[in-house]
Amino acid sequence: MGIKILGIETSCDETAIGVVEDGRRLRANVIASQVELHARYGGVVPEVASRQHVLEIIPVLEQALADGGIGLEELDAVAVTYGPGLAGALITGLNTAKALALALGVPLIGVNHLEAHIYASWLTQHRPDESPGFPLACLVASGGHTDLILMEGHGQYKLLGRTRDDAAGEAFDKVARILGLGFPGGPEVQRAAQGALGLERLPRAWLGDSLDFSFSGVKTALLHLAHQRGIYPLAGAGSTVTEAEARRLVMELAAAFQESVVEVMVRKLLTMAEARNARGLVLGGGVAANTLLRQEVARCSPLPVIIPPPVLCTDNGAMVAACGAFQYQRGQQHGLDLDVDPSLSLGDD
Ligand code: KG4
Ligand code: ZN
């Protein structure tokens, strides 16, 4: 019988719980998304997110146990995201994990959300630490982060690049708002860009030799273009742009934006991999669900590329359980006085 770890994730707007056996066998992965609740505000409202986690967490737990056919008494440990993220949102997950760990008499394992995004790759077909092996060049791109992290071993990280302004996902979300597309912006921009050519070339911020990112310039350039072309503020009555023309422009700008952001991320990830003699590339975080990014990394990389399926790129509990499993193996656990850490980083010490 394998080691069974429960993973709880409530750092943002997904109430998610997964169960993973032996660090890589997915037994359950239940995700209650709050997307519709936040869509009307065009972004995540922290207070609304926190209260929704309180409502959802126990039903999600029950569903995860039912899906996996697992009783609470079979769990070997409870892993939970304790940062980074929204403080009020994290607290619900952490307190639920503490209650479970206390009641079941099993270890509580606090997990870094960014590290969990990397460990989603252990839920794919291969174990990245066996094939291709360490070091791994990792890109974690989400709503709050665009981090280039060198993973030298389990629990060993070096942060080599980060965004200086907007995170990649945040830029997708803001651009979607400018173009009158829905929330969250990533999937909407991807859909709008489908089949369109980014005829209008948008800038790329290379920042010299730095492995850092900057996405606010491309977002501002897109805003100016949208304004110039008469589709921002949104084309309405009295607009000189026809509806069909406006639709075409939105598609082209979405494609141009996606191309710019993807090209910079791919190039910098490959540069880091080469400079640090990485043996493989790992992608994680919500933006890694992006089809163009996945294709381009695979097309351009001379090294093996590991990218979890899209449902394991966006926030989920299984990745927390997978990450927790490796901490469990190393005997790493936390006391029941563990606090949330909204600005927790990875490899930045
Ligand atoms: O990792 P994640 O689910 O939550 C955070 O930790 O932030 O990432 C969410 C972000 C959002 O900004 C969303 O727009 C973006 O990931 N995203 C995408 C795609 N799917 C989600 N960005 C680009 N293309 C996608 N297909
Ligand atoms: Zn995330």
For 189-244, the pLDDT digits (tens) are 999 999 887 777 899 999 999 999 999 999 999 999 999 999 998 756 567 889 89
How far apart, in whole angstroms, are the C-alpha atoms of residue 54 and residue 88? 10
Q: What does the pLDDT read at residue 235?
A: 57
Q: What does the pLDDT read at residue 197?
A: 77
Question: In this predicted model, what pLDDT tens digit does every residue of 238-283 receive, in sequence order?
Answer: 678 898 999 999 999 999 999 999 999 999 999 999 999 999 999 9
Q: What residues are in contact with ligand 1 under a 6 Å CB criterion?
A: 12, 142-144, 169-170, 172-173, 184-187, 190, 285-287, 289-290, 314-315
DSSP assignment string, 139-199: EEE-SS-EEEEEEEETTEEEEEE-BSSS-HHHHHHHHHHHTT--SSHHHHHHHHHTT----
Average pLDDT on 51-76 reads 98
Higher pLDDT, 200 or 92: 92
**Ligand 1: distance of its center to the CA of 186 in Å?**
6
Per the CB < 8 A criterion, the answer to whether 333 and 109 are in contact is yes
pLDDT over threshold 80, residue 300: yes
**Ligand 1 atom at shortest distance from the alpha carbon of 313:** 1
Average pLDDT on 290-314 reads 98
Q: What does the pLDDT read at residue 241?
A: 87
**Ligand 2: distance of its center to the CA of 318 in Å?**
12
Question: In this predicted model, what pLDDT tens digit does every residue of 309-329 receive, in sequence order?
Answer: 999 999 999 999 999 999 999
How far apart, in whole angstroms, are the C-alpha atoms of residue 131 and residue 280? 8
Q: What does the pLDDT read at residue 238?
A: 63
Q: What is 133-306's CATH superfamily? A: ATPase, nucleotide binding domain (3.30.420.40)
Instruction: Give the least confident one: 2-6, 258-262, 345-349.
Output: 345-349
Per the CB < 8 A criterion, the answer to whether 158 and 147 are in contact is no
pLDDT over threshold 80, residue 1: no
Percentage with pLDDT > 90 across the chain: 92
Choosing from 314, 315, 319 the residue with most ligand 1 atoms within 8 A of its CB, the one to mutate for a pocket test is: 314
Average pLDDT on 163-167 reads 98
- Where does CATH 3.30.420.40 sit in the chain? 4-121+310-329, 133-306
Q: What does the pLDDT read at residue 136?
A: 98
How far apart, in whole angstroms, are the C-alpha atoms of residue 143 and residue 269? 18
| Shortest-distance ligand to the CA of residue 262 | 1
CA 49 to chain centroid, in Å, comes to: 17
Considering the chain, what is the average pLDDT of its residues?
A: 96
Q: What does the pLDDT read at residue 42?
A: 86
Q: What does the pLDDT read at residue 240?
A: 80
Q: What does the pLDDT read at residue 196?
A: 87
| Shortest-distance ligand to the CA of residue 31 | 1
75, amino acid identity: L
Question: In this predicted model, what pLDDT tens digit does every residue of 97-156 receive, in sequence order?
Answer: 999 999 999 999 999 999 999 999 999 988 999 999 999 999 999 999 999 999 999 999
Architecture of domain 4-121+310-329: 2-Layer Sandwich (3.30)
Q: What is the pTM assigned to this prediction?
A: 0.97
| Shortest-distance ligand to the CA of residue 191 | 1
How far apart, in whole angstroms, are the C-alpha atoms of residue 124 and residue 130? 13
Q: What does the pLDDT read at residue 349?
A: 80
Q: What does the pLDDT read at residue 314?
A: 98
How far apart, in whole angstroms, are the C-alpha atoms of residue 232 and residue 201? 18
